[in-house]
Amino acid sequence: MKRILVVGAGGQIGSELTTELRKRYGTENVVASDKRRPSEEIAETGPFELLDCTDRDAVKRVVQRYKVDTIYHLAALLSAVGEKNPLLAWNVNMGCLLNVLEVAKENNCAVFFPSSIGAFGPNTPKDNTPQDTIQRPNTIYGITKVAGELLCDYYHQKFGVDTRGVRFPGLISYVALPGGGTTDYAVEIYYEALKHGKYTCYLKPDTRMDMMYMPDAIKAAIDIMEADGRKLIHRNAFNITAMSFSPVEIAQEIKKHIPDFVIEYDIDPVRQAIADSWPNRIDDSAARTEWGWEPEYDLESMTTDMIEKLSSKLSIKL
Ligand code: SER
C-alpha cells in the first residue's frame, strides 16, 4: 500500500497532483503539505500538514507520523523569480531536496523529483535535444535542477534510494497559477484572452519552447513512479514533452476560438535571455522506450480544453 507525502501541494503541479493521487490511492493515503495553507480542496478533503521543508526534522516527523513510503517533492522557486533572489533559490531548491533525500534514505521512501528544460543551457543542442547532452545552464534555477538530478542519481547509486524524475517543459493549467517561471506566458495568455481579448507578451513572437498540458504532466509523475524499476536505464531526469510552440503560434490557436484576440509584445530582457538559453524541442524517446511515456494533448486539443474550462471557471460566456 502506498502512503504518499506531497511536498509543495499548494503549487501549480501539487494542487492537481494531490487530487489525482487521492483518487488513485485513497484520500487517507495521500498527505498534502505546504508552507502555506493551500485551497480548501487540498487542505480539507484529506490529511494536510503545514510544513517548511527547509526544516529537516519537520520533514522527518511528518514522514514518520504517517508512515510515508513515497515522497513527491515539488517545492521550488522557478526560473524568473530565482534570478531575483539567487541565494534564496539555491537554499530552498537544494536545501529542501537534500532534506527530502536524507529523510527518504533513513525511512526507506521512494522520491519523485521534477527537473526541467531549465536544466539545459545556451550550448545545449537546441533541436531534438538528446536525453544525455551538454548541461551548462546559466540560471540559478537551472543550476539547482542539474545539481538536483545528480544528487538524486547519487542517492540511488550510493544509498539505494528509489529516486525517479522527469524534465518538465512549461506546464499549462487552469487550476493553479505558476509561480514566477519563464514559460508562464503560456498560461497568462489564456486568462487575458478570455478576460480582455488582448495579451502583452514578455517574450519575442518566435521564441520556441517545449510545453505540456497539466493532465499529461500529472500522468507522467504517476507513471514514472509506477514504472518497473528494472526497466529504467536513466531513472532520473527523463526528457518529456508534449508540444513545442512560440507566442505567435499559441496566439493563432486562441484566435480560432476568440477571433478578435490580439497579442502585443513588450519584451522582458531577463526572461527573454532565459528562454533563449533553453531548447526549442527536446527528444523524449528515452521516456517513451523505458516507461511508455506518451502525451495525450497537443496545442489544438489543449487550447480547446483550456478555453472551455477557464471560461466556465471565470464565468465568461463566449
Ligand atoms: N516552467 C519553468 C519555468 O519557466 C521551467 O521548468 O521556470
Predicted confidence at residue 39, as pLDDT, reads 86
**pLDDT at residue 267 tops 80:** yes
**Is ligand 1 within 6 A of the CB of residue 182?**
yes
Contact yes or no for 128/283 (Cβ under 8 A): yes
Q: What is the mean pLDDT of residues 268-272?
A: 98
Contact yes or no for 54/69 (Cβ under 8 A): no
Q: Provide CATH 3.90.25.10 ranges for the chain.
A: 170-211+242-279+296-313
Q: How far is the CA of 137 from the centre of ligand 1 (A)?
A: 13
Tens-digit pLDDT profile for residues 73-132: 999 999 999 999 999 999 999 999 999 999 999 999 999 999 999 999 999 999 999 999
pLDDT tier for residue 285 given thresholds of 50, 70 and 90: very high
pLDDT tier for residue 288 given thresholds of 50, 70 and 90: very high
Q: State percent of the chain over pLDDT 70.
A: 100
Predicted confidence at residue 133, as pLDDT, reads 98
Q: What is the mean pLDDT of residues 208-224?
A: 98
**pLDDT at residue 318 tops 90:** no
**Is ligand 1 within 6 A of the CB of residue 239?**
no
Predicted confidence at residue 42, as pLDDT, reads 86
Residues that are catalytic: 141
Q: What is the mean pLDDT of residues 12-29?
A: 96
Contact yes or no for 79/132 (Cβ under 8 A): no
pLDDT tier for residue 187 given thresholds of 50, 70 and 90: very high
Q: Provide CATH 3.40.50.720 ranges for the chain.
A: 4-169+213-239
Q: State percent of the chain over pLDDT 90.
A: 95
Give the closest residue (by CA) to ligand 1 atom 2.
181
Contact yes or no for 49/33 (Cβ under 8 A): yes
Predicted confidence at residue 45, as pLDDT, reads 86
Q: What is the mean pLDDT of residues 148-176?
A: 97
CATH of 4-169+213-239, one of 3.30.70.360, 3.40.50.410, 3.40.50.970, 3.40.50.720: 3.40.50.720
Q: Count Cα atoms within 13 angstroms, Cβ side, for 56.
A: 14
Mutation probe of ligand 1 site: the residue of 79, 84, 140, 143 with most atoms within 8 A of C-beta: 79
Predicted confidence at residue 38, as pLDDT, reads 85
Contact yes or no for 222/168 (Cβ under 8 A): no
The pTM for the full model equals 0.97
Place of cell 511528518: 62
Does the domain formed by 170-211+242-279+296-313 have CATH 3.10.20.600? no
Q: How far is the CA of 268 from the centre of ligand 1 (A)?
A: 15
Q: Are strands 209-213 and 243-245 parallel, antiparallel or unpaired?
A: antiparallel
Contact yes or no for 139/85 (Cβ under 8 A): no
pLDDT tier for residue 173 given thresholds of 50, 70 and 90: very high
Q: Which atom of ligand 1 is nearest to the CA of 182?
A: 4
**Is ligand 1 within 6 A of the CB of residue 275?**
no
Angle of the 56-65 helix axis to the 86-107 helix axis, nearest 10: 40
**Is ligand 1 within 6 A of the CB of residue 173?**
no
Among 103, 50, 101, 77, smallest CA distance to 182 is for: 77
Radius of gyration (C-alpha) of the chain in whole angstroms: 19
Quote the CA–CA distance of 285 and 252 in Å, as a whole number. 29
Q: What rounded mean pLDDT belongs to the chain?
A: 97
Q: What is the 3-state secondary structure (H, E, C) of the chain?
A: CCCEEEECCCCCCHHHHHHHHHHHHCHHHEEEEECCCCCHHHHHCCCEEECCCCCHHHHHHHHHHCCCCEEEECCCCCHHHHHHCHHHHHHHHHHHHHHHHHHHHHHCCEEEEEEEHHHCCCCCCCEEECCCCCCCCCCHHHHHHHHHHHHHHHHHHHHCCCEEEEEECEEECCCCCCCCCCCCHHHHHHHHHHHHCEEEECCCCCCCEEEEEHHHHHHHHHHHHHCCHHHCCCCCCEECCCEEECHHHHHHHHHCCCCCCEEEECCCHHHHHHHHHCCCEECCHHHHHHHCCCCCCCHHHHHHHHHHHHHHHCCCCC
**Is ligand 1 within 6 A of the CB of residue 47?**
no
**pLDDT at residue 222 tops 80:** yes
